[in-house]
Structure 1
Amino acid sequence: MKKHYPLVGLALSSLLLVGSAIPASAGTTSGSLNELKDLNPGITVTELKSSLDDYAQVEGISLDQAVKRALSESKSSTVKAAGNSPTRSLNVGTAASSGGAVTGVKLGSAARKGDIFVSPAATGFVQHGHTGIYYSTATLVEAPGGSKTSRSIAARDYKVGKGAVKQYISTTSTKRSVAANHAFNKLRGKAYNNNFAFNKSTTGTKMNCSQLVWAAYKAAAGIDLDGNGGPGVYPYNIKDSSKTITYKTL
C-alpha cells in the first residue's frame, strides 16, 4: 500500500471531510458507499459498485447489507492500523532505490523464507498499513502502490514505520516455501489494486499488498491468512490472524 506521511489523528478525522462522488440524497446505501469509497482511495465508483453487486449475489444478501459489511470492516481496519502507527506513518515502498531519504527503520532480513512483515502506512489520509512476503531471507515480494507494479526488492535497506513487525506463518517450512515461490513466480509485475474492500482474489490482474500476501498462501499452500473472514483482507487482518506469529517488532 502506498505511504505518504499523514498525521495519525488526521487519518481518522479527515474521513469526515473527503468529498463524495455519489449524492447523499440517494439514501443510506449511497451514503455508506461514499464512505467506503473514501476509505479506499483511488477506486472508482463503478469498480466499487461492481464488486458490491458480485459480493451481495454470492453471499445472498442485499446491496445495503453488503455495503454495511464492507464498510464496517474497512473502518475497523483503519482504526486498527492507526492504533499501531507512530506519530507519522512512513511512505511505503521507499527502500534502497529511494536513496534512503525517507525517515523510518530498516526492515532487514527475515528468520526464514515465507515470513512476512506488517508496517504502519497510509494511502492519502487513510491508515491501512502495508505488508509483504519474504521470497528469501533477504528478498521481499510486495505491491508498493501507485504506478509501480508488484515486485521483488532487497530487504536490507527497505524502510518501514516504527512498530512494524516480522512474522512467521504457523505451518510447515514446505508450505512457507511454496507460498514464497508463488509470490515470486506468479504475483510479480501486477498493476496496483486500489480496492481493499473486495480484494480476495488469488488470480486478479491487479494486486494490493495484503492481497498479494494472502493470495500467495491461499493459492499455493491452502492457508487463509485473513484474520476476520470479511469481504476484504487488510494488512492488519493478516497481522492479527491466528496463523501468524510475531517474532520481532521494529
Structure 2
Amino acid sequence: MKKVVTFVLAGFLVGSTQFSVQASTISYADQIVSMQPGVTAEELAEQVEELVLSTGMSEEEIYEAMYKEIENQNEMAALEAKQLSEEYEDYSASEDAEIQGGGGSALYIVGPSSRGDFYYTPSATAYVNHGHVGLYYSSNVIVESIYPSGVRSISANVRKVDKGAVVKSISTTLNNKNNATSWAYSQIGQPYSLNFANNRNTGHNGAKNCSKLIWSAFKLNGNLDLDVDKGFGVYPRDVRDAPQTQLKRKI
C-alpha cells in the first residue's frame, strides 16, 4: 500500500512540476507579447522554435531569458531615473519618445558630432523603458528608426533628447564607420519593428528598431558586436554600454 501511495505521490509531483513549467512558459510568453504590441504570439513562438534548434535551449529557458532581459531594462530605467533625478533637480523623463518619433517632452538639441558616432537618450515607451539610439551619418545628419514610420534621417540641429542623454564614439576604423553609416542610411524607408526581445536573431534587412539598426550596421561592416550582454535582444542600452564605445559628451 505504501508503495502505491509513494508512486501516486511521485507521479503527482512530476505532473505538478510539468504543469508549473508549462504555466510559467505561457506566462512569460504572454507577458513578452503584451510588452511588444505588433509582435504576435504566433510570430514569437516561431522564433522560439528556431532558437531551440540553434541554441539547444528549451522553450521554457528561452522565454524566461527573453522576459528577464525585458525586466532588466525596466530595472535599469528605474536606476537611471534615480541617478538623473539626483543629478538634476528638475529631471523628468519624457514619455513615448521613440513611439512619437523622438522628443516627447524632451527639450535639448543633441547637436552635431562625428560620422559614426551615436547618441543615446533615456526615453521611455508605453511598453518597455529601453531608451533610444540614433547614428550620425554625417556631423549634422542622424539616421534612426522610430515608431511608426521606421528608418529616417533627421538633422542633429533639431533632434531633441532628454537631459542625461549622451553622445558616444565607437572604436573602429574610419572605413568601418563610413561603411556602417552608409549601410544604415541605405535602410531609410524600412519599416519599424517592435520586436526587441529577439532582434539579435532576426534578419539585418527589412523592419528594424533603433538599436537593431546600429547593431546591424556595425556587425555587417566591421564585424563589431555592439551588444554588451549578448542576449537574445539588442536594446539601446546594450549598444550604449558596449565595451567598444566611449563617451564624448553628456547632454
Which residue identity lines up with residue 62 of structure 2 in the other structure? Answer: A
Alignment partners' CA distance in 2, 1:74 and 1:239: 16
Q: Is the 8 A contact 1:141 1:184 kept in 2?
A: yes
Q: Is the 8 A contact 2:99 2:125 kept in 1?
A: no
Q: Percent identity?
A: 31
In the alignment, which residue of structure 2 is the partner of 1:4?
Answer: none
When the two chains are superposed, the root-mean-square deviation of aligned CA atoms in Å is: 2.4
Evaluate the alpha carbon distance shift between residue 101 and residue 241 of structure 1 in structure 2; reply closer, same or farther with a 3 A threshold.
closer
Evaluate the alpha carbon distance shift between residue 177 and residue 141 of structure 1 in structure 2; reply closer, same or farther with a 3 A threshold.
same
Q: Is the 8 A contact 2:106 2:163 kept in 1?
A: no
Alignment partners' CA distance in 1, 2:135 and 2:106: 22
Any stretches of 5+ residues in structure 2 without a counterpart? 1-19, 82-90
Alignment partners' CA distance in 2, 1:44 and 1:101: 27
Which residue identity lines up with residue 72 of structure 1 in the other structure? Answer: K
Alignment partners' CA distance in 1, 2:224 and 2:57: 26
In the TM superposition, what whole-angstrom CA distance separates every residue of 1:213-237 from its partner, at most 9, and x where no partner exists?
A: 1011011221110110101100001
In the alignment, which residue of structure 1 is the partner of 2:108?
Answer: 105
Q: Is the 8 A contact 1:43 1:194 kept in 2?
A: yes
* Greater relative CO, 1 or 2 (CA 8 Å, sep 6+): 1
In the TM superposition, what whole-angstrom CA distance separates every residue of 1:72-125 from its partner, at most 9, and x where no partner exists?
A: 112112222343245322542599x99x88442111111x11001111122214
Alignment partners' CA distance in 2, 1:87 and 1:171: 34
Q: Is the 8 A contact 2:193 2:208 kept in 1?
A: yes
In the alignment, which residue of structure 2 is the partner of 1:133?
Answer: 135
1:156 aligns with 2:157: yes
Alignment partners' CA distance in 1, 2:124 and 2:115: 27
Evaluate the alpha carbon distance shift between residue 145 and residue 207 of structure 1 in structure 2; reply closer, same or farther with a 3 A threshold.
same
Alignment partners' CA distance in 1, 2:233 and 2:51: 10
In the alignment, which residue of structure 2 is the partner of 1:15?
Answer: none
1:234 aligns with 2:235: yes
1:74 aligns with 2:70: yes
SS of 1:84's equivalent?
A: helix
In the alignment, which residue of structure 1 is the partner of 2:191?
Answer: 191
> For this pair of structures, how many residues does the alignment match?
222
Alignment partners' CA distance in 1, 2:173 and 2:39: 37
In the alignment, which residue of structure 2 is the partner of 1:62?
Answer: 58
Which residue identity lines up with residue 198 of structure 2 in the other structure? Answer: F
Which residue identity lines up with residue 92 of structure 2 in the other structure? Answer: T
SS of 1:206's equivalent?
A: coil
Alignment partners' CA distance in 1, 2:194 and 2:99: 19
In the alignment, which residue of structure 2 is the partner of 1:28?
Answer: 24
In the TM superposition, what whole-angstrom CA distance separates every residue of 1:176-231 from its partner, at most 9, and x where no partner exists?
A: 1211111112x211111111001124523111000001011011221110110101
In the alignment, which residue of structure 2 is the partner of 1:89?
Answer: 94
Structure 1 residue 244: deviation in Å? Answer: 0.9
Q: Is the 8 A contact 1:70 1:231 kept in 2?
A: yes
In the alignment, which residue of structure 2 is the partner of 1:144?
Answer: 146
Alignment partners' CA distance in 2, 1:42 and 1:59: 25
Q: Is the 8 A contact 1:41 1:123 kept in 2?
A: no
Evaluate the alpha carbon distance shift between residue 101 and residue 242 of structure 1 in structure 2; reply closer, same or farther with a 3 A threshold.
closer
Alignment partners' CA distance in 1, 2:128 and 2:157: 27
Higher helix share: 2
Alignment partners' CA distance in 2, 1:83 and 1:150: 29
Any stretches of 5+ residues in structure 1 without a counterpart? 1-23
Evaluate the alpha carbon distance shift between residue 242 and residue 132 of structure 1 in structure 2; reply closer, same or farther with a 3 A threshold.
same
